[in-house]
Structures are given as structure tokens and as C-alpha cells.
Amino acid sequence: MRLNYYPETDSLYIDLSERTSAESREISEGIILDYDAEGQLVGIDIDHASKKVELKKLTLSKLPGTLEMSSV
């Protein structure tokens, strides 16, 4: 899973897998879910993210695997 914030558009994209999106559905104003060809959720796009989610703090708890940080 990867979280990408784009300050120029104030959008947050959450990649849930590396599969390609085939369909998108807006479930609420500015909240778009992306699905692959098999109907599996692969990503979440949040427009105007700074007004909808707390971007200044990220807390991870009991997640299996490794944590990678990138500033690019």
C-alpha cells in the first residue's frame, strides 16, 4: 500500500495494490474508488484532501511487513 499526496491539486491517492485500475466510482463528493478488471478495489482518490483528512499525522499500528518512507 502506498499513500501519495499531491499538494498542487490537494489530493491524496491511496494505492492499495499494484493492479491497474479499470473502473472508477465516485461514492461521495470528491471520494473516488478505483477497481481493477475483476472488480477488486485497487485505490482511493480523495480530492481536497486537506479539508477531509488529517494529513499532518499518520499512525501505523500492528501492520505486518516493512515501512518505507519517501519524501519524493
- Summarised one tens digit per residue, pLDDT across range 16-42 is 999 999 999 999 999 999 999 999 999
Question: Residue 52: enclosing H or E segment and its boundaries?
Answer: helix 49-52
Is residue 72's pLDDT more than 80? no
What percent of the chain is modeled with pLDDT above 90? 75
Which pLDDT band, with edges at 50, 70 and 90, does 69 fall under?
A: confident
pLDDT of residue 30: 96
31-35 sheet: strands from edge to edge: 2-6, 11-15, 41-47, 31-35, 23-28
